[in-house]
Amino acid sequence: MPLTKTIFRTNCIKKLKEASTHNKFYNDYHLNKRLQKELNRLKYKSILFYYPLPFEADITKTIKKIRRKCDIFVPFMQGASFKMVPFRLPLKRSKFGIYEAGNSLRNIKKIDIAIVPTVGIDGNLQRIGFGKGMYDRFFAKLNKKPYTIFIQEKICKTNKFICDDYDISCDVLITPQLEVRHKRIISPKAKL
């Protein structure tokens, strides 16, 4: 049976949900360290972050550190997609179980960096998400594609090309163990 996006997504979600929580703090620490190192080498004024679900990589330490330096935005769900709103407390749980900042009248169409959670990636470094297409629709509305960083708690990658043309791709994938850029592994177990 050929590998399809649906089969791969199901396998990746299962892998994420069954992952041991034994060393989650350790993994999140290293992931945040890698993410901050990546952000330090870039120039930016505004970043779209995600607020993590329990089985996603917890990047809240990076959010707290970076929010002093630039404008931070988070998704606010609207219909089949979302819009960006400024990150501000308190966060409220939406109907999808995602924590969101309050709605805003601002219509933000440009960001420098987007940090996006992924379930898996294919051979083109294209994102496999939860299957709702929210990030794909959102990126299609942007005036200019931002530098895109995919985040995974546990690597789930295939070398096959199973994504559709509209699926977003990344400039770099960051996991606690490695970074993947431009279709080659850069730093397995590298010093941070």
pLDDT tens per residue, the chain (192 residues)?
A: 788 888 999 999 888 888 777 788 889 999 999 999 999 999 999 999 998 887 788 999 999 999 888 999 988 877 777 878 888 877 788 776 777 777 777 777 789 999 999 999 998 899 998 888 888 988 888 888 999 999 998 889 999 999 888 899 999 999 998 888 865 444 444 444
Task: Give the angle subtended at the CA of 9 by the CAs of 187 and 92, to the nearest 5°.
Answer: 90
Instruction: Record the tokens describing residue 75, joined without a space.
Output: 């998704």
Question: What's the CA dihedral at 107, 111, 113, 119 to 10 degrees?
Answer: 30
Please tell me the pTM assigned to this model. Answer: 0.87
Contacts for 28 with CB less than 8 Å, ≥ 6 apart: 57, 58, 59, 61, 153, 176
CATH architecture for the domain at 5-183: 3-Layer(aba) Sandwich (3.40)
Token pair for 64: 């707290």
SS3 for 126? strand
Q: Is 181 helix (H, G, I), strand (E, B) or coil?
A: strand
Nearest to 81 by CA among 33, 141, 122: 141
Task: Give the number of other CB atoms < 10 A from CB of residue 78.
Answer: 11
Helix (H, G, I), strand (E, B) or coil at 174: strand
Domain boundaries, the chain: 5-183
